């Protein structure tokens, strides 16, 4: 699917970006009495947190326009690359300032290596950080996560750095859609891991760990009880509905960003409606920019899809809306073959689509 501009949210869940916006925020003073001297089981929550915390950072982003906020990130490799959310660093992409602070108080300037608005993933690189002091967090396999598995989230909720919360995986493959927090209309889409671990503004970009301490997701969003369920990033708080980008997808995106500085998206070469629906993802009559809704010679065209077709399944995943379809496609890589189930004039058909690719967020 080509990059689409979000008007409606479709069947996906609209969410509040879990980034702490400095504007109008209240400063809370807390004290740290130091670590307990009592030994903990290495496999306990305390043991996992003790191993993971030294590899997490609190990110402060300041834009040239004065906008800024606080988020979280974690060490990806010994070269100084840190994974976080795009919306955490969006304010500092063009001429802004980034800093990353470790739990021991060491602070480093950083620069954006690459960012992907659609995936809501970004990679920054620390300046002058000694590789000997950087310990990458181990990455798990998000495809093997099960509902009910224990989760541990680390972040800086409302600026309170190095906060650890716990919960479980509440659901998988949850469609989530939102703007990227930069004031632009382009949207981010994910097929998210849902957790009830407490996630608040400032947790964005932080690791969601399994019981062994391996990263299974990037904490990215919350649903709020405010404002009809969607709240604002400066006022909303956790109600037990947090969403994380699966680490298998985030790892692929991060590797592409480090390699080329540009994200690579899988696509079917068709524009779909983003209107709220529960019946499927309908291919529109015309593309967003007035172009053909089905790209001539593209993957969808080669598979026989046409404007007006309603896509109801991708492989075994039920598709209830355009955002859900986009999120599912972006869990795949270009070149993957997927089975598409669709309805045309009320009759169900299936076809195989070999996904194409799009580089960058510009089109």
Catalytic residue among 204, 233, 236, 321: 204
Q: Is 180 known to be catalytic? A: no
Catalytic residue among 87, 161, 238, 309: 87
Residue 96 three-state SS: coil
Q: Is 87 known to be catalytic? A: yes
Q: Are 11 and 321 in contact (CB under 8 A)?
A: yes
Annotate 113-157 with three-state secondary structure.
Answer: EEEECCCCEEEEEECCCCHHHCCCCCECCHHHCCCCCEEEEEECH
- In sign, the C-alpha dihedral spanning 261, 256, 112, 135 is negative
Q: Euclidean distance between the first and final Cα of the chain, in Å?
A: 11
- In sign, the C-alpha dihedral spanning 354, 359, 361, 363 is negative
Q: Is 120 known to be catalytic? A: yes
DSSP states of 30-55: -------SS---TTSHHHHHHHHGGG
Catalytic residue among 21, 91, 120, 210: 120
Beta bridge partners of 219: 244
Residue 98 three-state SS: strand
Which residues belong to the active site?
Answer: 87, 120, 204
């Amino acid at each position: 699917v080509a990059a689409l501009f979000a008007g409606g949210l479709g069947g996906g869940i609209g969410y509040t970006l879990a980034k702490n916006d400095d504007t109008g925020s209240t400063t809370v003073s807390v004290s740290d009495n130091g670590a307990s001297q009592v030994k903990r089981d290495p496999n306990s929550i305390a043991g996992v947190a003790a191993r993971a915390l030294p590899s997490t950072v609190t990110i402060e982003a300041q834009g040239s326009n004065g906008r800024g906020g606080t988020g979280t990130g974690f060490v990806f490799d010994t070269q100084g690359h840190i994974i976080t959310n795009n919306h955490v660093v969006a304010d500092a992409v063009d001429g802004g300032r980034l800093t990353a602070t470790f739990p021991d108080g060491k602070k480093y300037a950083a620069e954006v290596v690459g960012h992907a608005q659609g995936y809501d993933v970004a990679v920054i690189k620390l300046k002058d950080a000694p590789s000997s002091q950087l310990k990458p967090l181990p990455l798990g396999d998000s495809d093997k996560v099960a509902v009910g598995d224990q989760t541990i989230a680390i972040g800086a909720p409302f600026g309170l750095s190095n906060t650890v919360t716990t919960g479980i995986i509440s659901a998988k493959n949850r469609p989530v859609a939102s703007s990227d927090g930069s004031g632009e209309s382009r949207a981010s889409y994910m097929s998210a891991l849902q957790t009830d671990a407490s996630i608040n503004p400032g947790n964005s970009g932080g690791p969601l760990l399994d019981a062994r301490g391996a990263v299974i997701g990037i904490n990215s969003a919350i649903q709020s009880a405010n404002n009809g369920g969607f709240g604002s990033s400066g006022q909303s708080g956790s109600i037990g509905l947090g969403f994380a980008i699966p680490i298998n997808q985030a790892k692929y995106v991060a590797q592409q960003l480090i390699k080329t500085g540009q994200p690579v998206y899988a696509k079917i070469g068709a524009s779909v409606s983003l209107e709220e629906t529960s019946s499927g993802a309908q291919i529109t009559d015309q593309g967003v920019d007035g172009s053909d809704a089905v790209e001539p010679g593209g993957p969808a065209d080669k598979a026989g899809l046409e404007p007006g077709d309603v896509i109801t399944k991708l492989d075994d995943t039920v598709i209830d809306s355009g955002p859900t379809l986009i999120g599912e496609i972006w869990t795949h890589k270009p070149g993957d073959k997927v089975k598409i189930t669709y309805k045309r004039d009320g009759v169900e058909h299936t076809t195989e689509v070999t996904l194409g690719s799009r580089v960058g967020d510009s089109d």
